Every structure is written in C-alpha cells, then in structure tokens.
Chains A and B, each alone.
Chain A
Amino acid sequence: MKINDLEQLESEDITTLPSTERRTFLKMGLAVTGMYLSGTVLSLTTAGRVNAANVVPESGEYPYNPHYSMVMREHLCIDCERCKEACTKTNHVPSHGFRTTILEKRRSLGGDAYETIFVPVLCNHCNRPPCVRVCPTTATWKDEKTGIVVMEPSRCIGCKTCMAACPYNARYFKEETRAVDKCNFCLDTRLSKGETTTACAEACPADVRVFGNLADPDSRVFQLLHSPGTTVWVLRPETGAMPNVFYINS
C-alpha cells in the first residue's frame, strides 16, 4: 500500500464515529471504569459533564431532583460561627467533632498587609463521593432522590476508610453512635420535616450559605451560579469528586 492509499483510508479511531455512537462508546468505557471506581453510587451517564471552564454541571444534567447543593458567598463570611452552633444543636454533634467549620486563610496585599478570608466548609455531597466508594459495608451512600450522602450508623464497622478517602475532612468518628458522622444537609432533622433549608444556612446572619435545589432553574442557588460574570470554584477539584458545594465572590 502506498502512502497515498493510506491517506485515502478512513481512520478507524473514534473521532470518525458519528457523535451519538461515540457517546455510547464513551459511556460504555465510563460505565466499565465506573463499576470499579464509583460503581452504582453514581450513574455516570447522568452525572453531568464538568467541562474545563466550569465546575458546575451543565444545566439539565443533574443526577437528582431535588439536586441539593450549597453556594458559599465566601467574602461575606465573618466567622461568627453561628452556623456551627446551629448545626451542633440541630444534629447533636458532640464537642469533640464537627460537621461544618470555618477555615481561615490570608491573602497578601503587598508588604506586611494581608486580608483575611474565612472559608466555611462542610460535606460536599459529591457526585462521585470517594467515601461511598470505599465503605466495605455500604454504611454510607448517596440518597437516591436527593443526592445527599447519608450514613447508617448501625452498619459502620469503624474502619475509617471513608475518613481517609474524603478530600474535605468532612467526616469524624462519633463515639456516641460508634459510627462515622457527617453532614447530611439536615435531611433527618429538618428537610424530612418540611423545612426547606439547613440549620447552618438558616442561622447565617450574613447570608453566606445559600442552600437549594440546583436542578430548579428558579432556585437561588441556580441563579447565583448562573449569573453572568460570576466566577465559581470548588475545593480540591483535582480529586475528581465533583463536589456540590460551590464558592463565589459576588
């Protein structure tokens, strides 16, 4: 075969496949790798592609409805820690642990000057939760309806692999229940009782924490994340966990 003939040949790589076919092929690959990496905890076909420029899943591709998420208006946080107090009270968090907390970082303003930035953190209820993947007894899973990462204390053997796996330090071992404990967006203490928001979001006097359903275009979380000119970021995106707690500065 001559070079010319070769060039005439149609390539057999996936770039020449019609796009739908290509997508099914990719999905197959994802499903196979997903089996090992994330298994049934996520349906990768609907997990939402995260493109390079944006950490927010494409609209219309949220795996859940309501797809609960939280938006942090980071620059407004003043570390009054009313969120922590409300969480502790609502969810019976012991003094040796926390479900949410505030981190503090400093940004140099040149010379000696710096500005303080408070960063509220909690469970990110990831679309690909590493904690869920590693649990040997399925004591933690993504709630099928809401996508909230929940815990069943009575199944926890206390191997603490989920604590090691979590990129966000969101889990701790609660001696009182002899199980790992974590934020569940107040699913049992509030949402299931008809409340529409979490204890921490309700307690925040500076309106830092905005909680809501990302799958609903009319929700405030959706609006905040999709308003023009807004930079949205997440914590530790490199781990591939696809978190559902988003940070903005506007």
Chain B
Amino acid sequence: MWGNYKMKKILLMLLFATFLFGGAILAATGGDQAKDDEYDEDEYGPADPIIWVKPVKSVVFEHKIHTMEAGLDCDSCHDDLFEMEAGVAEENDDFTMESLYDGGYCGSCHDGDTAFASDTRCTACHIGVRGHTRLVGEEEMPSH
C-alpha cells in the first residue's frame, strides 16, 4: 500500500513537472513571436529574405542577421557592395564564388576575419532548390 502511495506521489510530481516544462516551452515560443513583431524594417532593412537564383539556385541573404543581430550599418553594404534593390547583383556576370573569394560582394566580410569565410559552410548561404521550394513554393520556382 505504502509503495503504491509513493508511486502515486511520484506520478503526480512528474505530471506537475510536465506542466511546468510545457509552460516554459509555450512561453519561449511566445517570446520569439514577440521578437518578430519587434523587427522594424525601417531600422534594419527588409524583413523578407533576399533570394538569388543566378548563377545557381539558390542563395539566401537576410538583413535581420546582418543588421539587427550582427549590428552592421546600412552603409557597410549600401551602396558600395550592393544596390538597395533585390535582384540587381544576380544580373552581374561576376556574381560568383570567384568574386567572393577575391573579396567582392559578400566576400568583403565573409573572408574568415569579419565573418566566416566564403569557402566554408556552403549551406549557410546556399539553401538550394529544396530550400527555395520551401521558402517560395514550387510554382514560383523559376525555370532556367
């Protein structure tokens, strides 16, 4: 009997703990959402990721990571490295890894000093066809 009672007590405590953890998780997700709402496009640049499909599908750039999180100013990129218009860079013939390795475009920071080097962590920038489809959807996938 006593053992049984103890069992029940333990079960109750487990249940309680589960509730607590559940609450914590819920709270955490709630907090994240609040942060998203806080994101100010005027201060940090466009919220939507910029996606390039040329020369290869697909590379993603997020203002949020660079401005809000890494604390970069607008003029560290605009308008020396990039125009303030999505899709301009990908029209250039030299928008390639070669240029990045030579310090052009993203490579001016992603050189291993300011930020991680362009010849590492390929999939940090490259989301590929799969990532593209996930972000944009199948229909809008441009066919070459």
Cross-chain contact A78 with B130 (CB below 8 angstroms): no
**Chain A residues, CB < 8 A from B58:** 80
Bound: A102/B128 CA distance, A: 10
CB-based nearest A residue for B55: A205
- Known contacts: A102-B128, A102-B130. The answer to whether A118 contacts B123 by CB under 8 A is yes
Bound: A82/B144 CA distance, A: 11
**Interface residue? A22 (CB, 8 A):** no
**Chain B residues, CB < 8 A from A104:** 128, 130
**Chain A residues, CB < 8 A from B121:** 115
Q: Mark B103-133, 1 if CB is under 8 A from A, else 0.
A: 0000000000000000001111011111100
**Chain B residues with a Cβ closer than 8 Å to the other chain, count:** 15
**Chain A residues, CB < 8 A from B124:** 115
Question: Which has the most chain B C-beta neighbours within 10 Å: A79, A104, A117?
Answer: A79
**Chain A residues, CB < 8 A from B131:** 79, 116
Q: Mark A113-127, 1 if CB is under 8 A from B, else 0.
A: 001111000000000
**Interface residue? B63 (CB, 8 A):** no
Cross-chain contact A206 with B122 (CB below 8 angstroms): yes
- Known contacts: A78-B123, A206-B122. The answer to whether A118 contacts B128 by CB under 8 A is yes
**Interface residue? A23 (CB, 8 A):** no
Bound: A85/B143 CA distance, A: 11
Choose among A75, A81, A115 the residue that contacts B129 (Cβ–Cβ < 8 A).
A81
Number of A-B contacts (CB under 8 A): 45
Cross-chain contact B56 with A75 (CB below 8 angstroms): no
Q: Mark A73-115, 1 if CB is under 8 A from B, else 0.
A: 0011111111001000000000000000010100000000001
CB-based nearest A residue for B58: A80
Question: Which has the most chain A C-beta neighbours within 10 Å: B56, B121, B123, B144?
Answer: B123
Bound: A215/B28 CA distance, A: 56
Choose among B56, B123, B129, B130 the residue that contacts A205 (Cβ–Cβ < 8 A).
B56
Question: Which has the most chain B C-beta neighbours within 10 Å: A80, A104, A115, A205?
Answer: A80
Choose among B56, B122, B126, B130 the residue that contacts A82 (Cβ–Cβ < 8 A).
B56
Q: Mark A36-77, 1 if CB is under 8 A from B, else 0.
A: 000000000000000000000000000000000000000111
Bound: A116/B122 CA distance, A: 9
B129, chain A: closest CB distance, angstroms: 4
Bound: A206/B144 CA distance, A: 18
**Chain B residues, CB < 8 A from A115:** 121, 123-124
Bound: A224/B5 CA distance, A: 65
* Interface of A toward B, CB cutoff 8 Å: 75-82, 85, 102, 104, 115-118, 205-206
26 contacts between A and B (CB under 8 A): A75-B122, A76-B122, A77-B122, A78-B56, A78-B122, A78-B123, A79-B57, A79-B126, A79-B128, A80-B56, A80-B57, A80-B58, A80-B126, A80-B129, A81-B57, A82-B56, A85-B144, A102-B130, A104-B128, A115-B121, A116-B123, A116-B131, A118-B123, A118-B128, A205-B55, A205-B56
* Interface of B toward A, CB cutoff 8 Å: 55-58, 121-124, 126-131, 144
